[in-house]
Amino acid sequence: MNKNQWNAFCKFRTEFKEKCIEWGKLSAMLLPLQKEAAQKDTPAYPVENPVVYNTTLDEITENDEIKLIVIGDNPGKNEQLNKNKKYLVGMAGKIADRFFKRNPELQIDFRKNVIILNKTPVHTAKTSHLKYLTKNGGSEIQKLIYDSQLWMAEKTAKLHQDFLSAGTDGSGHTRHPMELWLVGYAELKNHGIFIPYKESIFNAYKNTSTGGLCAAWQKVKVYQHFSMNRFSIDLNDFMKKSKQANLQASLEKLGDIHKNEIFSVF
């Protein structure tokens, strides 16, 4: 990262950590709801962190080269454990890591070159369980899940745009044309739980002068989630049907196709 990018990242990281501490004050209310939501379809497990800050962010240094921002849904069972407190460290994360290892032409190390965030830091065993929390948690929990999405969308979009707009530093280190991947879009559709996130992140890429979308929006892509290998299955199907052999070109086109599907209502 150059100096401008590093400063932008540090500002985001500090603010995110502070917000997680603030949101974590509702943990006593969240924890029983999270356990109740999981009872119907999830084996019992210890809920150790109802709100999860991604501690991997604390391991990033100015010397790291960040090439991609990946946005998952929300922290699951593995992510919230005290031994982890990191995003995408369960099976979905392992699948993502293997994808990039199998495709070195992308020149991305998933554990070194990627900032991993979520649409909300509120934990549930399954993303769909967030609906149980909003239905049964009362106004404070509803506000938490809503407000956390707005905050994450606005601040993540700003971080992305700051990275793209940062110029060269004194050593001539140029910025990387970083993309932002929204990975997992089922709950961005129709009446999904992440509609507030979708609306907020779209508005965050609007050009305040013209009312249109800023150039950084072109670097936002939408894909299937890594869980259950849906990301790779969808990508492989697209490459076969389109007879496209180039992986990078396929990712660009598929990411735009799904983005248009999700954001066409705007």
Arithmetic mean of pLDDT over the chain: 95
| 3-state secondary structure string across 115-132 | EEEECCCECCCCHHHHHH
Q: What is the pLDDT of residue 65?
A: 95
Using CA atoms, how far apart are residues 136 and 57, in angstroms rounded to an integer?
Answer: 32
Structure confidence at residue 208 as a pLDDT band (50, 70, 90): confident
Q: What is the pLDDT of residue 169?
A: 47
Could you report the per-residue pLDDT of 214-255, keeping only the tens digit for each?
999 999 999 999 999 999 999 999 999 999 899 999 999 999
Residue 173's Cβ-count burial label (10 Å; 0-12, 13-18, 19+) is middle
Please, are residues 154 and 204 in contact by the beta-carbon 8 Å criterion? yes
Structure confidence at residue 176 as a pLDDT band (50, 70, 90): low
Using CA atoms, how far apart are residues 158 and 140, in angstroms rounded to an integer?
Answer: 27
- Domain containing 95 equals 3-263
pLDDT average, residue stretch 14-27: 98
Using CA atoms, how far apart are residues 117 and 152, in angstroms rounded to an integer?
Answer: 8
Using CA atoms, how far apart are residues 32 and 177, in angstroms rounded to an integer?
Answer: 43
Q: Number of structural domains, the chain? A: 1
DSSP track, 106-167: G---TTTSEEEEES--B--SSGGGHHHHHHHSHHHHHHHHHHHHHHHHHHHHHHHHHHHH--
Q: Is the dihedral of CA 97, 99, 102, 106 positive or negative?
A: negative
Q: What percent of the chain has pLDDT above 90?
A: 91
The H-or-E segment that residue 11 falls in is helix 3-23
Go through 131-159 and write b for each residue having 16 or more CB atoms within 10 A of its CB, e for each that does not. Answer: bbbbeebeeebeebbbebbbbbbebbbbb
For the cut 90, the answer to whether the pLDDT of residue 266 exceeds it is no
* Angle at which helices 138-165 and 27-39 cross, to 10°: 100
Structure confidence at residue 209 as a pLDDT band (50, 70, 90): confident
Could you report the per-residue pLDDT of 97-136, keeping only the tens digit for each?
999 999 999 999 999 999 999 999 999 999 999 999 999 9
Report residue 64 CA to chain centroid gap: 19
Could you report the per-residue pLDDT of 140-160, keeping only the tens digit for each?
999 999 999 999 999 999 999
Neighbour count for residue 74 (Cβ, 10 Å): 27
